[in-house]
Amino acid sequence: MTSSPVVDLRDYRSFCFRGEGQANLVISAKHAATGSRIAKSERVNKYMERIITPFIEPQFRVNPHIVELKIRDVHHLAKVPSLPADEKVETFDELVQLPDELSFLPFSAIPKGTKRLGCLQMLDATSIPNTVLTKTENTITIEVKPKQGFFQNHPNFNVPYCNNCILQIEKCGSGRFSEMYDFCPLDLYSGNYGRMRHSLESLFRDPHRNLRVFVNGYLVHCDKKTVEQSDFDETFFPDRRAKLDDLYHALCLVLSGSDENSPFQLHDSSVLGQILTAQKIDSIGLGRAFSLYNALPGNVKAEILDKTRLARKGLDAILSPAKNDAQNLIERYLVSATMKDCSIMVSLKLVSPSSGEYPSDVVTLANGTRFAYSIKIVDLDPKTPKHIQNAYTRLSAGLKILRIGIEQGVRRKPCVPPESVENV
Ligand SMILES: [Zn+2]
């Protein structure tokens, strides 16, 4: 770490809290001179590089650099998450003036002798890089948590609902089971235009934890802060040069890797195609992962609990077909769980049909509307057996609510045809 460059936060402005992953607090700030942005991370690890990178094409990756910050600066920076949502602090000196109690890293928690802290600096996925495009159009960023894109059954749980929808039932609670959102990941990944579009429209109507929408880097639409359906056109396209309909259509095309000139399908090379391929290295599913893990002897459990283990082992050893023991199956499950829980950031910006060269990718709709776009996969946090325990507890609770709901005659459309569900 001593060779990492030291960053002076006084060179940055517009500090803003972006969100919280399991291992990270994400804070955005703009470099006064270069416009590059910085994000803070509690834990820097090799997991991304050794395990996740092989699954994802370079254009979908956010490659972080390790930088160092002075520990006093990190203390001040850690005040940002305490500020009201989406509030920006313009200069670092203003941040220094704010009360010390706001900081997530109090001075008392800093070990004696610590002078610096390693952080991850990465490009901001709510901007389209290197564009020389018109400044007047909005950059619209859609952050989707696509969840698990294929159906897996669980021992003794013989229901035609996918993991996401069962867990969603648990979140909504028994009383509001019928008010659940319509989004099902199996629709999003289906490769069927109508189903995919329906899933996206459902998310815009009811974002829950699966959708956030930014305009020029500002959060405008999420679970807690919603734009009325009738105001979307005005919010995204104040000049009325496109419609929400165009945005949905462009999203379907870029997420599936399709274009207007060939039949619509989910391409393996697309962002969703790559995520799905990586998810499918898991052959056991949550229910079996839970029972296999619990049956392991204590010393093997302890090995799997080691957070650095997967990265040290490397992807080839994890995927080796020669190893099919419980430990290996669980490790594959854990890698897959990262991909079942990641987010996709799609940034789109209208470009005029007549303008010449585009440094980024462009999608052209049949009606002539064109968007420059960029796609990044984020929130690729390593998972531990704790994740299996928590998810299984919620899955069981969701199934209980589902059974009661079905007995009471509450209907939710099955995620897969009921006759296709086999006993396991
Ligand atoms: Zn579902």
Q: What residue spans define the domains of the chain?
A: 9-56+63-121, 125-424
pLDDT band at 262 (very low <50, low <70, confident <90, very high): very high
Give the Å distance between the CA of 162 and the centre of ligand 1.
Answer: 4
Question: In angstroms, what is the span from residue 415 Cα to ligand 1's centroid?
Answer: 4
* 3-class secondary structure, 289: helix
- Average pLDDT in the 132-136 region? 57
| DSSP secondary structure letters along 76-137 | HHTTGGGSPTT--EEEHHHHHHS-GGG-SS-GGGSPTT--EEEEEE---TTS-TT----SSS
Evaluate the CA torsion angle 200, 206, 212, 216 in order and state its sign. Answer: positive
Mean pLDDT of 134-159: 86
Q: Which residues does 182 contact at the CB level (< 8 Å), separation at least 6? A: 198, 199, 202, 205, 206
Question: What does residue 8 show for φ and ψ, rounded to 5 degrees?
Answer: -95, 115
Closest of 271, 265, 245, 250 to residue 193, by C-alpha: 265
- Span of 270-274, 321-325, 381-385 with lowest mean pLDDT: 321-325
**Nearest-angstrom CA–CA distance, 408 and 253:** 40
What number is the average pLDDT over the span 15-20? 68
pLDDT at 36 over 80: no
What does the block give as tokens for 210?
């699966």
Of the candidates 338, 311, 255, which has an alpha carbon nearest to the alpha carbon of residue 21? 338
Name which of 325, 370, 316 is nearest 55 in CA terms. Answer: 316
For ligand 1, the distance from its centroid to the CA atom of residue 285, given in whole angstroms, is: 15
Å from CA of 77 to ligand 1 middle: 39
Report the separation in Å between the CA atom of 293 and the middle of ligand 1, taken as the mean of its atom positions.
25
pLDDT in tens, 225-249: 888 888 999 999 998 999 999 999 9
Question: Closest Cα partner for 326 from 350, 302, 294, 361?
Answer: 294
Backbone angles phi, psi at 233, to 5 degrees: -55, -50
Q: Give residue 28 CA to ligand 1 midpoint distance, Å.
A: 33
Could you give the C-alpha distances from 325 to 256, 284, 298, in angstroms and in order? 35, 12, 16
Of 158, 65, 177, give the one whose Cα is nearest residue 167: 177
Beta bridge partners of 142: 213, 346
Per residue in 370-388, pLDDT (tens digit) is 999 999 998 888 888 999 9
Ligand 1 mean position, distance from CA 253 (Å) = 22
pLDDT of residue 175: 53
> What pLDDT does 357 receive?
56
Q: How far is the CA of 194 from the centre of ligand 1 (A)?
A: 16
Q: Distance (Å, rounded) from C-alpha 220 to C-alpha 152?
A: 35
- The residues with which 13 forms a beta bridge, in sequence order, are 30, 91
pLDDT on residue 126? 66
Query: Is the alpha carbon torsion for 127, 130, 135, 136 positive or negative?
Result: negative
Angle between helices 385-407 and 285-295 (to 10 degrees): 130
340 CA distance to ligand 1 middle (Å): 13
Backbone angles phi, psi at 115, to 5 degrees: -110, -30
What share of residues in the chain are helix, strand, coil (percent, to 5)? 40, 15, 40
Look over the chain and give the mean of its residue pLDDT values, rounded to a whole number: 83
* CA 150 to ligand 1 center in whole angstroms: 9
Task: Compute the distance between CA of residue 145 and CA of residue 168 in angstroms, rounded to an integer.
Answer: 13
Give the model's confidence band at 42: pLDDT under 50 very low, under 70 low, under 90 confident, else very high: very low
Residue 360 dihedral angles phi and psi, to the nearest 5°: -115, 180
State mean pLDDT over 113-122.
Answer: 73
Best CA proximity match to 258, nearest among 244, 273, 279, 243: 273
Distance (Å) from CA 149 to ligand 1 centroid: 9
CA of 14 to the centre of ligand 1 (A): 39
Quickly tell me which residue has 């890797």 as its tokens.
257
The residue-averaged pLDDT of 273-293 equals 96
First CA to last CA distance, the chain? 49
Q: How far is the CA of 421 from the centre of ligand 1 (A)?
A: 13
Q: Are 139 and 127 in contact (CB under 8 A)?
A: yes
Q: Which residues, including other chains, have CB under 8 Å from residue 295's CB and lie 6 or more apart?
A: 326
